[in-house]
Structure 1
Amino acid sequence: MPALPPDSQAPPAAFLPGLDELLAGAHVVSLPMRVKFRGILQREALLLRGPLGWGEFCPFPEYGDAEASRWLAAAVEAGWSGFPAPLRQSIPVNATVPAVPAGRVPEVLARFGRVDAVKVKVAEPGQDLADDTARVAAVREALPGAAIRVDANGGWDVPGAVTALTRLAAVGLEYAEQPVPDIAGLAEVRHRLRAAGVPVLVAADESVRKEDDPLKVARAGAADLIVVKVAPLGGVRRALDIVAQAGLPAVVSSALDTSVGIRAGLALAAALPELPYACGLGTVSLLAADVTPDSLVPDDGAIRLRDVNPAPELLAEYAAPPERRDWWLDRLRRVHAALAAAAAP
C-alpha cells in the first residue's frame, strides 16, 4: 500500500490562484456558538469566493502554517476546481453532543431533529469517567434505538481507554473515535478490547489527518475504520484517494465549519463509493449563527446536497473585528506562500 507522495498536500500550481485574487474575495467572520466546543465560544473562519463557488479556510488558531496549508488547498479546490460528480444526493448525518452535563443532553439533541446516530464527546479535560458515563447514558435514554459513537480526541491513555470503553460498551457503542493519541496506542487498545470480548470498534481521526502519512494507521492495523475531514486532508479529491488506499470503511466528519465548509464535506460523502456510517456533518447546529439563511443542517436525519451562497448581510453582521480580520489575512498570506513554494517545480 504505497504512501501518498508528500507534494500531494498541495494543489497543482495551475489551481493555486494568486494571492491578490484570494484577498479580493476574502471575508472573515466570527460566529457565536450555542455551547462551548473545543474550548471556544466563537468560531472564526475566512471565506474565499472563487469562480466556481465558495471555499472555507478555518484551521484552528493553534495550527501551524504547514498544517494550515492543507486547509487552504481544500478551500481553493472548492472555489476554483469544484467538486467531483456525486453518487448520492442525500447524506445521513449524526447529531453531536459536546462535553455538556448530562442534564443538557436533551436540549442539545433537540436542535438536530430526528436522529439515528449520535457522536458524544468524552475524555474532556477537567471531567472524569463518571461524567462521560452519565452523558452517554442520557443519550441512550433519550434515543433508545440510535447508534452511539464516542469521541475522546486522544484524551485517554491505553489502560484508561480500555477501562472507559469497557464500561461505556454497556449502553451499546457503534465505535470509539481516537481513544488514545498515537497509532501504537490505537493498535493496543483495539487488541485489548478484542481479547476481552468488548464489542467496540476503534476509529482513527487525528491519526489520519495529523500524520505526515495518513495511511500509517491502516498499515499498522490500528483501526477498524477511519474518520476523514476534507479541510485537514487537503480537499475532497485527496480525501477520496486516502480512503481508497486505506481500504477501510470511512466516516466523513467536519471541523466545526460554517455551511460553506459543510458543503465540501457533503461533496466528499456524496462521492464515496460506499457510505456505511452516518456522517458527522451536522455541526452547524452547534453554531448560533451562520453565513447563509439556508444552513446545511439535518432534516429527518440527513442533509440534501445543495450549493451554498453566503448572504452579504450575514457576512457583514458577523464580520470579525478588524484586529482578527488582519490576523486571518496575514495568516492567508503566509500559508499561500507556503503552498506556492510546495507547488513550484
Structure 2
Amino acid sequence: MTAFASIAAFEAALADLARPDAAAIAQARERQAVLTKPAGSLGRLEDIAIFLAGWQGRPRPRIDKARAAIFAGNHGFTVHGVSAFPPSVTAQMVANFEAGGAAINALSGAAGLELKVVALDLDRPTADFAAAAAMSATDCLDALNAGAGAVESDLDLLVVGEMGIGNSTAAAALCARSFGGSAADWVGPGTGVDAEGIGRKIKVVERALEIHGYAANSAFETLRRVGGREIAAIAGAVLRARQLGVPVVLDGFISCSAIAPLAADNPAITDHCLAGHCSAEPGHARLLAKLGLEPLLSLGMRLGEGSGAAVAAGVIRTALAAHNQMATFAEAAVSASL
C-alpha cells in the first residue's frame, strides 16, 4: 500500500494530524497519582509513561513490538569535499548493519528493538543541490513512501535513524530553509571535518539556499530541493507513524532535520515525537528548541544511525516498567499522605 499517492496526499496528511487519546492520558495520570511515591518524584519518567499512554490509546502502555528503522542514501553535493569520508562508506556501512557489526546493531539489540535497514538507491546519488534540486518530485515522493512503508500499525514504538555520507550538510540546509538563519548558524563538523571543511560546507549550503530561494517553501519542496532520499524517508516514516498512532523517538541532528520542513508547515507534527538525545553537533540544540522538544539524554554522541534514540528507548522502557509494575497506595497498604 502506498501511503502518499501524490504530493497532495502528503500535504493533506500533514495538514490533518491525529491527536492522542485524551481518556488514556487522563487515566494514566490518575494511575501516576496513586503509585507509591511522592507526586512527580520520578520526573520525566512519569511524563514519558503518560505520553505513551496517549499515543497508544491505553492507560497502561507497553512496548511489545518496537522497531529501529534506519534509512540510507547518497548525496551529489559530496563532490565539494564536505565530509571526512567518501560516499562509498554509505554502502559499506549498510553492509555492516546487515552483518550485525555496527553500533546500532548492538544498541538496538540492548533496547529490544527490531532493526530494519532500508537502503535507497545508493548507486544513484541525489543531484548536487548546489546546482539543482536534489530530487525530482517523483524521487522525493518515492522516498517518502519508502519511509512510510517501514511503519506498521502494530508497532508500539518507532526509532528512526539514518546513514548517508555528507548528510549533515543537507540537514543544515533543511534547517536554514525551514527556520531561517544563516548557513553558518546550522553547519557543524559532522563526521569531523576541520575548519576548512566547515567552510566548504557553509559555501555549499549558502549556494543551495541562494539557487532555491525562489521556490515554494512548502515541506515537500524543501525536502526535494535540499534534502536527500534517506532524510525524506524519515519524514515519510514520521508522518505515517502519526497516521497510525505510533509514537516516534527521533535521533540526532539529521533525523530531526527531516521533520524541520514538516514542522515549519505544521508545528503539531512533533506532538507524537520524543527527542532521544541532544547530539554534539552544534546545530542540534538549536533545532530541538525550534521543534519544541526537550531531549531525554545528552551523552555527547554524534554518530547517527539512530544510536542515541536507541539508547533513549531503554529509558522509555524503564518509564513504562515503573508505571505498570509499581503498586498503588491501596495495593501496598501505604498511607497516601507521603
TM-score (norm 1): 0.29
More strand by share: 1
TM-score (norm 2): 0.29
